[in-house]
Structure 1
Amino acid sequence: MAATSGARSPAAVGGSPPQEIQELDETVVATVLRDLRNVAGKLRLVLLPTGSPEQTLKELRNWDLWGPLLLCLVLSLSLSFGAPAGQVSLVFSGVFVLMWAGAAVVTLNAQLLGGSVSFFQSVCVLGYCLFPLVIAAVAGLLIRNGVVRSVLVVAGWVWATRASVVFMQSLLPPSKRALAIYPVGLFYLVWAWMVYVE
């Protein structure tokens, strides 16, 4: 969840008093809709990055954990549907543990290599970039053809890796980018394998 201030006071124009916007005064529905719009905007950045790289990075630096949490929930449910009857709860909880622990390890690796990325910002980006593999997992529930599923999973892996690499490489020294990008590809490769064998 991104940290937001309770009140913002724009500067007065023409002598009129500044207006205060109280986020605490808005309804729950307005808050949820605002958060869902933010999640949709970040997912659009991952799937169709239309702006300049600077605009994309600026938007992704405004981190939140709602989107990754929703994507992790959808992925957990879709992988659980394909799990054997006795392992449904194990698969469901395993997806959450692997997502957050894996993102933490990849982030720690980037920080140890001298990257200027914050922990939650990196977890946010890695979670949002999981979206192509979530699409492949949901499509895999409907499509049982092995060749089509393989193509979907490979495309999802390439897309997820490329989307996160665009963000990660801009925050690392050029001499150490390969060392930070390799674990990112490996992180999504594990997810691609899990989606394929569901």
Structure 2
Amino acid sequence: MAGLSGNITLQQGPRSDQLGHMGGAQPEAENTLEEPVSETILRDLKRIAFKLKYVLIPRSAEQEKAKQLRDWDLWGPLLLCLFLALTLSISSSSGNSEQDTASLVFGIVFVVVWVGAAIVTINAQLLGGNVSFFQSVCLLGYCIFPMNVASLLVIILGFVPYIKIPIVLAGFAWSTLSSIGFMTQLVPESRKVLAEYPVILFYLFLGWFILVI
């Protein structure tokens, strides 16, 4: 029987730049199976804070900002959405005796954020945008952070006359500038206005909801 010889090569795992669909993939592979849960949580919190920096500084290095936000995750947007929903539900229940009011407000905010982000994302893709669904949802979710700050300030300073409108307008403008700067890079030049319009409506509705609550 003839001898068998040859080289056996192991197939390499998927490259880190192909793991965008998993969320939060880093350029270097990380072995996190044996690390403590506290370290995993701390690393994720640092990653969320790092991305929030690009939301707070809308005109910071656009290409670096785009690179970081393309490395999507949904933990940050989920936490920000929950915070906004909890803030507004607590605010609504403080001035209303109905027990179901807080639950209704919480549900409305939660649905509006995720469904609205999905609609804006689908619109950008239909316009020829070069972005994945979860990348866009991640971006829009992180950019509601100024609206979170605005809702918190409205609760704290709401007793001051005429203070709510300027605070909410500032949060709306900040959120819109942060997201539009990224979204307009993904669609053709001739369709930028069509991509910006739903984004403005998305944050405008959130701002209006903060005011009426």
Measured after TM superposition, the shift of residue 49 of structure 1 is: 4.6
Q: Structure 1 residues 93 and 32 mapped into 2: Cα distance closer, same or farther (>3 Å)?
A: same
Q: Deviations over 1:146-187 (max 9, x none)?
A: 421111100110110010000000000000000010000000
What residue is the counterpart of 1:168 in the other structure?
Answer: 183
Moved over 6 A (4+): none
For this pair of structures, how many residues does the alignment match?
Answer: 185
Measured after TM superposition, the shift of residue 48 of structure 1 is: 2.1
Among 160, 175, 180, the residue aligned to 2:195: 180
Where structure 2 has 5 or more consecutive residues not aligned to the other structure, the ranges are 1-21
TM normalised by structure 2 equals 0.83
Q: Would you say 1:68 and 2:77 are equivalent positions? A: yes
- Larger CA deviation: 55-64 vs 82-91: 82-91
Q: Would you say 1:2 and 2:19 are equivalent positions? A: no
Amino acid paired to 2:90: F
Q: Would you say 1:118 and 2:132 are equivalent positions? A: yes
What residue is the counterpart of 2:11 in the other structure?
Answer: none
Query: Aligned with 2:186: secondary structure?
Result: coil
- Larger CA deviation: 161-170 vs 42-51: 42-51
Query: Aligned with 2:125: secondary structure?
Result: helix
Q: Structure 1 residues 102 and 113 mapped into 2: Cα distance closer, same or farther (>3 Å)?
A: same
Q: Deviations over 1:10-56 (max 9, x none)?
A: xxxxxxxxxxx521111110000000000001111100257421111
Q: Partners of 1:40 and 1:71 in 2: how far apart?
A: 12
What residue is the counterpart of 1:193 in the other structure?
Answer: 208
Q: Partners of 2:150 and 2:62 in 1: how far apart?
A: 26
Measured after TM superposition, the shift of residue 3 of structure 1 is: 5.4
What residue is the counterpart of 1:30 in the other structure?
Answer: 39
What residue is the counterpart of 2:167 in the other structure?
Answer: 152
Amino acid paired to 2:23: A
Measured after TM superposition, the shift of residue 64 of structure 1 is: 0.5
Between the two proteins, what is the percent identity of the paired residues? 49
TM normalised by structure 1 equals 0.89
Where structure 1 has 5 or more consecutive residues not aligned to the other structure, the ranges are 9-20
What residue is the counterpart of 2:91 in the other structure?
Answer: 82
Q: Partners of 2:201 and 2:25 in 1: how far apart?
A: 33
Could you say what the CA RMSD is over the residues aligned between the two structures, in angstroms? 1.6
Q: Partners of 1:81 and 1:50 in 2: how far apart?
A: 33
Which structure has the bigger radius of gyration?
Answer: 2
Q: Partners of 1:167 and 1:156 in 2: how far apart?
A: 17
Measured after TM superposition, the shift of residue 192 of structure 1 is: 0.3
The answer on whether the counterparts of 2:169 and 2:207 sit within 8 Å (CA) in structure 1 is yes
- Larger CA deviation: 177-186 vs 50-59: 50-59
Q: Partners of 1:37 and 1:186 in 2: how far apart?
A: 30
